[in-house]
Amino acid sequence: MTDISITSTSVVGDGSGKRSFGTAGEAITAGQAVYLDAAVNKWKLADSDSVVAGANKAGGIALNGAALNQPVVVQVEGDLTINAVLTKGSAYYLSETPGGIQPVADLTSGENVCQLGIAKSTSVLAVRIVAPGVAV
């Protein structure tokens, strides 16, 4: 498994994408995949092989860093510049590393499939989350 390397200071939503505003349930870095923990109504790091209810289905990607109980903005759909080295046209998925994003080729046995988006260029991810509820 090799997660993509994201420069947190370069994470920028296009402004027209769908966003959610909330509170961090733990330390979050811009560019990490997150889910909304319904039990506490806070955003936490998503993880494709987590046994925590809901944690293996990302709700979006954090646009800013936030400490516990601080405000966080989450891109739930739309174009997101992450300035990582993406492969145009390739799908990117939630990783088994909490908050991580990986290419489709790195999905491994035991992970729940959660597609985060498709690369529109080498630095822009078209975020559209698809989580069919199946494991690899």
pLDDT digits (tens, 9 = 90+) for 36-64: 999 999 999 999 988 888 899 999 999 99
| pTM as predicted | 0.93
Residue 31: predicted pLDDT:
96
Q: What total of structural domains would you count in the chain?
A: 1
Tokens of 75: 């891109």
- CB atoms near residue 9 (< 10 Å): 10
Collapsing DSSP states into helix, strand and coil, what is residue 28?
Answer: strand
Q: What does the pLDDT look like over 11-41, one tens digit per residue? A: 999 888 899 999 999 999 999 999 999 999 9
Which domain CATH number covers 98?
A: 2.40.300
**What is the average per-residue pLDDT within 85-95?**
94
Q: Is residue 3 part of a domain?
A: no
Range of the domain at 60: 8-130
